[in-house]
Amino acid sequence: MKIRICEDPACADTEVVVRCRQLDDTALSLLARLRVYDAKLTGERDGATYILAAADVLYADTADKKTFLYTADAVYETPLRLYELEEQLAARDFVRAGKSVLLNFAHVAALRPDFGGRMRVTMSNGEVVVASRQYVPALKAKLGL
């Protein structure tokens, strides 16, 4: 794969062009990763609503019928349900890791087996999220195992 960057001061917006012989899994994966940078989510914190780039969200979880978005430095409440987030981010690098957890796979730093078939997932900020055994096969598939 060749990567070429052309700087143009007259360019108003960044444009990414993917040229390939055939739209295969590699090209589709690359496109999914690029799309995550374009996705926006809203989150509320301290009475203010923030617009978040989906790429900055490490994971989302639910507690007490509320859904939260976790970034490297803050936690935001979102009005969306977890299944709505999952649908919105389905084409991106997010994967379900439990009934109440959705992970941004781009921020996964390490995976470690845990008791009962579960998996401990260490995120890029050092936080550990436990993936339930029902969703471990999806994580392994994402790794190509």
- What domains are defined for the chain? 25-143 (2.40.50.1020)
Q: Using an 8 Å Cβ cutoff, are 93 and 136 in contact?
A: no
**What pLDDT score was predicted for residue 33?**
66
Neighbouring residues of 123: CB distance < 8 A, sequence distance ≥ 6: 58, 59, 103, 107, 108, 109, 129
Kindly tell me if the per-residue pLDDT of 51 is higher than 80.
Answer: yes
Kindly tell me if the per-residue pLDDT of 122 is higher than 90.
Answer: yes
Share of the chain above pLDDT 90, in %: 40
Mean pLDDT of 128-135: 92
Kindly tell me if the per-residue pLDDT of 135 is higher than 80.
Answer: yes
**Banded model confidence at residue 27, pLDDT cuts 50, 70, 90:** confident
pLDDT in tens, 100-117: 999 998 898 998 988 888
**Banded model confidence at residue 12, pLDDT cuts 50, 70, 90:** confident
**Banded model confidence at residue 69, pLDDT cuts 50, 70, 90:** very high
